[in-house]
Amino acid sequence: MGRKSALNNVGAGVGRVMPGSEAPTSHADDDVARRSAVAEEQEFLDLATARRDRLADHLQAELSADALDALERARLRLLRQQYEELRRAQEGLVFGRLDGRDGTVRHVGRVGLRNDDEGGEPLLLDWRAPAARPFYTATAVDPQGQARRRHIRTTGSAVVGVDDEPLDGTVTGELVGEGALLAALDQRRTGRMSTAISTLQREQDDIIRAEATGPLIVQGGPGTGKTVVALHRVAYLLFAHPKIADQAVLVLGPSPRFLQYIAQVLPALGETAVVSATCDTLLPGIRVGREESRLLAEIKGRALWQPALENYVTSLLPRPRELRLRWEGEFYVIAAATVAQALASVRGRPYHRARQSFAEQLHHVLAEAVVEQREALMEEMEEGFEDILARVDRSMQYDRHPGGGSAGSDVDGLLSEEEIEDLRRRIAANATIARFVEAWWPTLDAETLLRDLLTDCTLLARFAPQLSTEEITAVSAEPAPWASSDIPLLDALADLLGEVEAPQPQGEFVADHARRQRGWVYGHVVVDEAQELSEMQWQMVLRRCPSRSITAVGDIDQAEAAHRHTSWAEAVRAAFGERWTAAELTICYRTPREVMDLTAPVLRQAGSHNTPPRAVRSSGVAPWTLTTTPAELAGTAGQAVRQLRERWHGGTVGVIAPAGRIAELLPLLGDVPVLTATQSKGLEWDATLLIDPQGIAAEPRGWNGLYVALTRCTQELGQLVVT
Write down the pLDDT at residue 466.
97
Q: Look up residue 408 and give its amino acid.
A: G
Cβ neighbourhood burial of 374 (10 Å; 0-12, 13-18, 19+): middle
Q: Are 301 and 485 in contact (CB under 8 A)?
A: yes
Residues 347-391 pLDDT 10s:
999 999 999 999 999 999 999 998 888 877 777 665 655 655 555
Write down the pLDDT at residue 391.
53
Task: Spell out the long-range contacts of 72-80 with Cβ–Cβ below 8 A and sequence spacing 24 or more.
Answer: 73/506, 73/507, 76/507, 77/507, 77/509
Nearest CA among 476, 446, 481, 482 for reference residue 461 = 476
Q: Are 488 and 279 in contact (CB under 8 A)?
A: yes
β-strands 274-277, 614-615 pairing: unpaired
| Distance between CA atoms of residues 447 and 575, nearest Å | 24
C-alpha dist (Å) from residue 295 to 298, 475, 490, 572: 5, 10, 19, 20
Q: Within a 10 A sphere around the Cβ of 720, how many other Cβ atoms?
A: 20
Domain assignments of the chain as residue spans, ordered by start = 3-185, 216-312+477-587, 317-386+412-443, 593-722
| Distance between CA atoms of residues 251 and 524, nearest Å | 9
Write down the pLDDT at residue 381.
63
CATH homologous superfamily for 593-722? P-loop containing nucleotide triphosphate hydrolases (3.40.50.300)
Q: Which residues contact 636 (CB under 8 A, 6 or more apart)?
A: 626, 628, 720
| Distance between CA atoms of residues 119 and 141, nearest Å | 34
| Distance between CA atoms of residues 262 and 192, nearest Å | 6
| Distance between CA atoms of residues 58 and 62, nearest Å | 6
Q: Are 362 and 397 in contact (CB under 8 A)?
A: no
Determine phi and psi for 371, rounding to 5 degrees: -65, -45
Residues of the chain predicted below pLDDT 50: 1, 3-25, 67-68, 171-172, 174-177, 190, 192-194, 392, 395-396, 398-411, 501-508
Q: Are 150 and 164 in contact (CB under 8 A)?
A: yes
Q: Look up residue 690 and give its amino acid.
A: L
Nearest CA among 92, 119, 124 for reference residue 105 = 124
Determine phi and psi for 403, rounding to 5 degrees: -95, 0
| Distance between CA atoms of residues 710 and 73, nearest Å | 51
| Distance between CA atoms of residues 600 and 587, nearest Å | 15
Q: 333 forms bridges with which residues in the sheet?
A: 324
Write down the pLDDT at residue 52.
87
Q: Would you give the DSSP letter of residue 556?
A: G
Domain made up of 216-312+477-587: CATH architecture = 3-Layer(aba) Sandwich (3.40)
Q: Which residues contact 180 (CB under 8 A, 6 or more apart)?
A: 151, 153, 163, 198, 199
216-312+477-587 matches 593-722 in fold: yes
